[in-house]
Amino acid sequence: MKVYGTVIARDSLDLKCVYLFRRDVDDSQLINSTDESLFLIGPKRGLALIDAIYFEIDLKIKRGQRSAQLSKGFITLDGVPRSYMDKILVERSSLTGQLSKVEVTFAVVKCAVEATIAIEVARGEFYGEISAFTTCIQDKLLLHDSKVAGVVTHDGKRVVQLLRPVMAVCLQEKLMVIAVARSGANLTVKTIEFTPGVNGGAKGEITCGSVSLLVKVNWSILSKEWFR
């Protein structure tokens, strides 16, 4: 099944479109099973849950020379009841249509700061996956997949193309970036840890065999409302 269209988020900061998924018919994503997820390209900034966040879904499938509506509608994430939650929970909400059921997985992070991640290849050639998670939320967010972006070398363009460079991290938690380097049938897995801050940045190096990755994280405040 070839999927294209948009998934958009709007929050109370400015109600502007923040694209989570955006592909046209000539750049559709091939989905082979119900276990596969869409390759998200965002958000490009942190989403602030002050009143509500709206997820607008408009997905289509390509069938030969024709197209069909796969899913269209919206999901509302109400911020009022979640403002009283003591624990960070991974939640799921779904939009059911005639041809599909689209599930959105999310977590509300209190006292959150925005982490903007950038990665470069310092040595060798990197082929594999890079993900991020926090000490509280173990669900990993895929940042890079070489099957999509290709091999990255230290020669020429060293910047690792990230599917989404931004995530929210609680100030009391740790940000973990994990790299899985593949070489034939061999896997090398390494993790680096970052301590959040309200501003500034940090950097560190991950070494996976003959490959070294330079990971940089910049911190910024999502919304002053969250720190009142």
CA-closest candidate to residue 114, choices 21, 39, 18, 5: 18
Calpha distance 122→159 (Å, rounded): 9
The one-letter amino acid at 71: S
Looking at residues 96-114, what average pLDDT do you find? 86
Pick the range with the lowest mean pLDDT from 39-48, 123-132, 147-156. 147-156
Pick the range with the lowest mean pLDDT from 98-112, 149-163, 180-194, 212-226. 149-163
Calpha distance 205→214 (Å, rounded): 5
Residue 213: how many other CB atoms lie within 10 Å: 27
Residues 181-227 have pLDDT tens digits of 988 888 899 999 999 999 999 999 999 988 999 999 999 987 655 44
Q: Rounded to two decimals, what is the model's pTM?
A: 0.81
Residues 6+ apart with CB under 8 A from 13: 48, 50, 223
Calpha distance 2→62 (Å, rounded): 5
pLDDT at 87: 77
CA-closest candidate to residue 169, choices 135, 205, 126: 135
pLDDT of 39 over the 90 cut: no
CA-closest candidate to residue 38, choices 51, 22, 56, 17: 22
- Percent of the chain's residues with pLDDT above 90: 39
- Band of the pLDDT at 5, cuts 50, 70, 90? very high
pLDDT at 65: 79
Sketch out the chain's domains with CATH numbers: 2-107 (no CATH), 112-227 (2.60.40.150)
